[in-house]
Amino acid sequence: MNRGKLITFEGGDGSGKTTQLSLTVDALKAQGKDVLQTFEPGDSPLGKELRHLLLSGEYIPAAQTELLLFLADRAQHVQTVIRPALDAGKWVVCDRYTDSTLAYQLAGRKLEDNQQLRDMLKWAECGVSPDMTIWLDLSVQDAALRMASRQTGGEVANRLDNEKTAFHQSVYQAFDNIQRENTERVKRINAKQGIQAVQIDIQALLQNL
Ligand code: TYD
């Protein structure tokens, strides 16, 4: 059996990532593909506990601890969910992956971006890298406007959503750099467009896989 493909979605809070991810999964299924939709952190039994430790706000982990917990979640997710699905020939569509760790922990938390940490991020992937990454590019200002309207709609922000603007600016800058450094793998989509237009762009990119 052919190995499946791993497609990851990245983007700041408010970029429409969740909506676009679901639409993409529906479109792939409509093409007859066997698809697994998943997310980080937290889409494994152990990961669920790690997600609570990371995002509930009950704990304030040190930057190093935060990084290690995200990597622990990833390794568990790859070994128990993502790799088995790929080996079974499925297309795996994952909400966030290693690029989020680079952006939020290394850039956002200002951990030193050295080779040792890069190697550790790679190691936690257990040999599974994305075939394509869709980055929904939305400026921090536009994202903040969308988030403000959402919170009045009752959605609860997690511990990282509540970071200051400067943090989100560093995260944005990091995604921008990641895209420029990995143009083959990481595709930038203008997330300011309407839902339909964004989805059309994504569909066009997926043809290349
Ligand atoms: P989540 O509630 O799953 O939603 P969204 O992806 O739409 O923001 O939030 C996950 C949070 O975890 C998000 O604030 C980004 C953060 N995160 C990291 O800081 N590092 C990581 O490696 C990952 C996977 C996520």
Report the nearest-CA residue for atom 19 of ligand 1.
104
At residue 148, the pLDDT reads 82
Which residues' Cβ are closer than 6 Å to ligand 1?
Answer: 13, 17-18, 39-41, 55, 70, 95-96, 100-101, 104-105, 158, 160-161
**How many other C-beta atoms can be found within 10 angstroms of the C-beta atom of residue 147?**
16
> Cα–Cα distance between 117 and 122 in angstroms, integer?
9
At residue 151, the pLDDT reads 63
At residue 162, the pLDDT reads 87
Ligand 1 atom closest to Cα of residue 39: 3
Those residues with Cβ within 8 angstroms of residue 161's Cβ, 6 or more apart along the chain or in another chain: 13, 147
Number of C-alpha atoms within 13 angstroms, CB side, residue 32?
0
Report the nearest-CA residue for atom 25 of ligand 1.
100
Could you tell me the pTM of the whole model? 0.96
Q: How much of the chain is in helix, strand and coil states, percent to nearest 5?
A: 55, 15, 35
> Cα–Cα distance between 89 and 70 in angstroms, integer?
26
CA 170 / ligand 1 centre spacing (Å): 15
CA 160 / ligand 1 centre spacing (Å): 7
Mean pLDDT by 10 residues, the chain (209 residues): 93 89 98 97 98 97 98 98 98 98 97 96 98 97 85 72 92 97 98 96 94
